[in-house]
Structure 1
Amino acid sequence: MDLAYSLDTVWVLLGAALVFFMQAGFAMVETGFTRAKNAGNIIMKNMMDFAVGSVVYWAFGFGIMFGDSMGGFIGGLDLFARNTYDFGVPTFAFLIFQTVFCATAATIVSGAMAERTKFISYLSYSFFISLIIYPVVGHWVWGGGFLSELGFVDFAGSTVVHSVGGWAALVGAKIIGPRIGKYTKDGKAKVIPGHSITLGALGVFILWFGWFGFNPGSQLAASGPENAQAIAGIFVTTNLAAAMGAIMSMIITWIKYGKPDVSMTLNGALAGLVGITAGTAAVSPMGAAAIGGIAGIVIVFAVEFVDHVLKVDDPVGAISVHGVCGALGTLLVGFFAVDGGLLYGGGFALLGVQAIGVVAVAAWTMTGAFILFKVIDATIGLRVSKVEELEGLDITEHGMESYADFQLKAIVHE
């Protein structure tokens, strides 16, 4: 028993470390897909939303998420996580594992609102998503709330983590408005290229690697044959979905644009990863490949829809990757789950529960985010000035240049 307890604890802590490393992946994706003059600002946001979120979630959010349920909506307050819980591993092991998940939800918004958001305003948002918006959703699904009682399936957080970040990103990006020069006077979207596809690709590889902590780590135990088999299966479903997402995005862009698009293919891999996260332990490898492939197709059209139809400027595609594909992957559990899925003779019951969960989380998150962003905008302001945006947030918000030597050489060369 002692050996099993120790092995399970080490497994959860290893998963937490891998998910923490995903923070670097998000930082690289967002930095690479945006302009050099804002690189330092994006790095700071990704670092500080983890720092702020860690403290706030430890002090308040963890109790709201896992404390005794009050009406199936919210957990009882447990300041500084002082209570002992029966998670099968030490409470603090579970706390750090859940902390890195909370940070993931918060950091998704950074990319969608990049290059025009005040640093202090972003910190304020990170504080409140870690304090209340994310923990409430987590309680509904993982803390014994009403969605868990309905039988809602979200094994590792397609909805709890990714859709929360994606829907909040949609609201924030809509309220703050597009970057200067993103849309012409007649409303046509213009491409604002990021400064390093290499950094973006590095970020995607880091995220793909970290997802092997995100999904398999959510098994929360490694001892015994049953857990070992489950973890191995989750590794396979996670990887297949990512691979198929990348393949299908590449094929679709090759057909649509005449050439395989690099950035969209990278986002296709992330779309597959986000899509499989809900059902990674509930579907077969074939089902995982199908979910990843569907997400890889949908992401291409979702990015275009957000950009051209909704007129929401999302520099990294975070809304589509995390919001749309998070919801999509959660719904597809209702089709592909081996136990209860529509394609496996389970009828529409599970699909109906999945739909209820997707809608409930979207409604809560977007309502809370709308109120939060409006209050921030009315008090300290969300957006930097036009002059600050044109000059770049590295200089105006932090008093530095991320590529000072490179920029100096470019000036001398000219």
Structure 2
Amino acid sequence: MLRRAVPLLLLLHGAQSETAPPKADYSINSIVGPCRRAAGEQCGGVNGHGEVWEVDGPEASCCAEGHVCAYKTMYYSECVPMWRNESPARTQRTLEADTIGEVRSALDNFYLIINAQIVFFMQAGFAMLEVGIISPKNAKSILFKNLLDMCMVALTWWMWGFGLAGGGASGQILTEGSSFGDFGMGKGITEDGSGRAGGLDWLNSASFLHSLVFATTTTTIMSGGVAERMKVEVYIFLSVILSSFVYSTVVSWAWAGDGFLKEMGFVDFAGSCVVHLVGGCAALMGAILVGPRRNRFTDTGDVVSFKSTSLVLSSLGAMMLAFSWISFNGSSVLSTDHSNLELSAHAVTNTLLSLGGAGVTSVMFPALTNKGTYDLPLTINSMLGGLVAVTAPCAFIDNWNAILLGVMSSLLTMYSSYFVMMKLRVDDPLDAFSVHGACGIFGTIWTGLFARKDLLALVNHTKGAGLFYTGDPELFLAQLAGCGVVILLTTATIAGACISFHLALTALKAARGSDEIVVDDIGEEDGGLYGEDESAETDSVEEGNLNFFEKVMLSLRFSKDAEIVGADFIYHEGNAFELTKNQVIMYNQEKNAQDRIQRRRDAARRE
């Protein structure tokens, strides 16, 4: 298909290959269709690759009666049947239109595939972001979980997730028997056994790849909320549930043509709600059920700060995510016709403007309110919050509106993080809910307030527009309903999955004849819920001492010793960041020098 596409494009611009026969030799001469050639030439000529297109025929009468010799590209022609009541010129134009359609289909596939690769790079960005924020003793564990959930999602999305998502999965074309497991492969094989795949296979394969990388993004968001204490097997189980059941269901409701949210008028261009709110709600529910990291909260209610591995890695991860977000939002037009590419460019422009507004706000606001200091993690999260918020309305709002959205989402990220940590007492190590959940809701609702009617029309949306422009609340109410449905579905499913895991573990314990809660394969939780009694002789917890949700929590999280020393030591043969003797000496020297400098500064201030 691509080999035909290049010469066709050259023909459309008036170019002609040096190896192609002169156009005059291929002209359509009459209804009977003799392709007049010089004596001795083969009927149909020779294409640009030296291959004979048609068999030999009598001179000046290559095609049978009722057929014409018509161009398919500038390289070759072939005898084709005349359509009833059509002239030879009309037949030629029809063939050219068909070929242009093939080229457009190929370009659409290429567009989806290349953007899927760029969006897939977000996995590296999330990995660097997470491993930079969490404790060094769990760095390997975070990377391992991110790699493993990527593999599991690929398999489960192929087996059933893509089928459940239906037409909402990046424009999947649905045919009988093509929506489960093989995603339509084999449906376009020719009867003659040549093995040439039909157009349906090409399109659905590209749609599968594009929708898959969106599904993996949803799952990885959850990882940040449960980092450093959830068991690997629990996380993988939740990843499968989230990506191939929850996310695929939301996609079918919101993006498929017959989805009930879509029919209600709900709009989410690239996934503030469909992708990020799903992941953010899963992260919040997982963080609640698995409990906070050990020693995160003191008895007096203070929050203990943990040392991060490397803010350099986190910054690198944020830059990777910003780069991939361009394709994440821009490719959601799904095709390459002129109007869609213009809409894509507009969406990408708004994406970067929102990023800029959020980032600048994260620097200016704390500088004005916190003694002029700068907070790099806060800036990273604010930038990501701006990207999340603009993902839903990026194609439908004005440029100035995108900047304002970035400013507001930055403030929302800051205060949402404070509320979740200090008021709800939920330990969310990467502020996954604040960034993806709260900003996902905000961006979805923003669409209902400021989406322009003319831009919505480009995606065939006819049910309302931004409330501030039209005064019609239809779109705004649809956006609220969409957020509510996604929150209920995601939180209920993740909670049910965690409880189901606990019940299965309890049944396994009963089958083994044990009266203790087994929390992992290297040891059992001791001395109460968080093991405060360091001298306890027993390594188990009697069921009668805990309520149901505390039992669920113990089933989901590491053992006490595993959490203290870190998952890397227990499961990955040592920490990723081991210090040599000389490094320890140098660290102590650096620390002592910092203390001396700080004492001199304090003394200077007192004077």
Question: TM-score, normalised to structure 2's length?
Answer: 0.64
Cα deviation for residue 288 of structure 1 reads: 1.2
Paired residue for 1:337? 451
Write the distance in 1 (CA, Å) between the matches of 2:472 and 2:304.
45
CA 1:255–1:142 in 2, change beyond 3 Å: closer, same or farther?
same
Cα deviation for residue 3 of structure 1 reads: 2.1
Write the distance in 1 (CA, Å) between the matches of 2:363 and 2:504.
44
Of 264, 269, 274 in structure 2, the residue corresponding to residue 150 of structure 1 is 264
Paired residue for 1:369? 494
Paired residue for 2:184? 82
1:55 correspondence with 2:169: no
Write the distance in 1 (CA, Å) between the matches of 2:504 and 2:121.
34
User: What does 1:13-412 align with in structure 2 at a 5 Å threshold?
Assistant: 13-66=113-166, 78-82=180-184, 90-143=203-256, 144-222=258-336, 224-258=337-371, 259-339=373-453, 340-380=465-505, 381-404=555-578, 406=579, 409-411=582-584
Matched residue type, 1:358: C
Write the distance in 2 (CA, Å) between the matches of 1:252 and 1:239.
20
Paired residue for 1:72? none
User: Is the contact made by 2:125 and 2:321 (CA closer than 8 Å) also made in structure 1?
Assistant: yes
Write the distance in 2 (CA, Å) between the matches of 1:220 and 1:112.
31
User: Is the contact made by 2:168 and 2:254 (CA closer than 8 Å) also made in structure 1?
Assistant: no
Matched residue type, 2:466: G
CA 1:409–1:372 in 2, change beyond 3 Å: closer, same or farther?
farther
Write the distance in 2 (CA, Å) between the matches of 1:176 and 1:254.
35
Write the distance in 2 (CA, Å) between the matches of 1:80 and 1:187.
53
Structure 1: segments with no counterpart, 5+ residues: 70-74
Secondary structure at 1:78's aligned position in 2?
coil
Secondary structure at 1:215's aligned position in 2?
helix
Cα deviation for residue 130 of structure 1 reads: 2.0
Cα deviation for residue 89 of structure 1 reads: 6.5
Matched residue type, 2:567: L
Secondary structure at 1:91's aligned position in 2?
helix
Write the distance in 2 (CA, Å) between the matches of 1:96 and 1:369.
25
- Deviation larger for 247-256 or 32-41: 247-256
Secondary structure at 2:182's aligned position in 1?
helix
Q: How many residues align?
A: 407
What's the CA shift string for 1:209-258, capped at 9, x where partnerless?
00011000111112x32122112111101111111111112222223322
User: Is the contact made by 2:184 and 2:200 (CA closer than 8 Å) also made in structure 1?
Assistant: no
User: Is the contact made by 2:167 and 2:255 (CA closer than 8 Å) also made in structure 1?
Assistant: no
User: Is the contact made by 2:132 and 2:310 (CA closer than 8 Å) also made in structure 1?
Assistant: yes
Among all aligned residue pairs of Structure 1 and Structure 2, give the percentage whose two residues are the same amino acid: 34
CA 1:24–1:408 in 2, change beyond 3 Å: closer, same or farther?
farther
Structure with the higher helix share, 1 or 2: 1
User: Alpha carbon RMSD of aligned pairs, Å?
Assistant: 2.2
Paired residue for 2:541? none
Write the distance in 1 (CA, Å) between the matches of 2:301 and 2:357.
34
Using CA pairs under 8 Å that are at least 6 residues apart, name the structure with larger relative contact order, 1 or 2: 1
Write the distance in 2 (CA, Å) between the matches of 1:220 and 1:396.
45
User: Is the contact made by 2:168 and 2:252 (CA closer than 8 Å) also made in structure 1?
Assistant: no
Write the distance in 2 (CA, Å) between the matches of 1:142 and 1:282.
16
CA 1:165–1:370 in 2, change beyond 3 Å: closer, same or farther?
same
User: Is the contact made by 1:246 and 1:268 (CA closer than 8 Å) also made in structure 2?
Assistant: yes
- Deviation larger for 77-86 or 331-340: 77-86
Cα deviation for residue 375 of structure 1 reads: 2.0
Matched residue type, 2:124: A
Cα deviation for residue 400 of structure 1 reads: 3.0
Matched residue type, 1:131: S
Matched residue type, 1:103: T
User: Is the contact made by 1:105 and 1:164 (CA closer than 8 Å) also made in structure 2?
Assistant: yes
Write the distance in 2 (CA, Å) between the matches of 1:386 and 1:187.
22
Write the distance in 1 (CA, Å) between the matches of 2:168 and 2:389.
30
Cα deviation for residue 410 of structure 1 reads: 3.6
Write the distance in 2 (CA, Å) between the matches of 1:80 and 1:332.
38
Secondary structure at 1:80's aligned position in 2?
coil
CA 1:295–1:120 in 2, change beyond 3 Å: closer, same or farther?
same
Cα deviation for residue 399 of structure 1 reads: 2.1
What's the CA shift string for 1:32-91, capped at 9, x where partnerless?
01111111110111111111001001101011110699xxxxx99623323779999710
Write the distance in 2 (CA, Å) between the matches of 1:128 and 1:87.
28
Matched residue type, 1:356: A
Write the distance in 1 (CA, Å) between the matches of 2:443 and 2:502.
33
Structure 2: segments with no counterpart, 5+ residues: 1-100, 170-174, 189-198, 454-464, 506-554, 589-607
Write the distance in 2 (CA, Å) between the matches of 1:225 and 1:80.
32
Matched residue type, 1:115: E
What's the CA shift string for 1:323-359, capped at 9, x where partnerless?
1100110000011101211222242211111000000
Secondary structure at 2:556's aligned position in 1?
coil
Matched residue type, 1:42: I
Secondary structure at 2:308's aligned position in 1?
coil
Matched residue type, 2:341: A
CA 1:410–1:203 in 2, change beyond 3 Å: closer, same or farther?
same
Matched residue type, 1:93: A
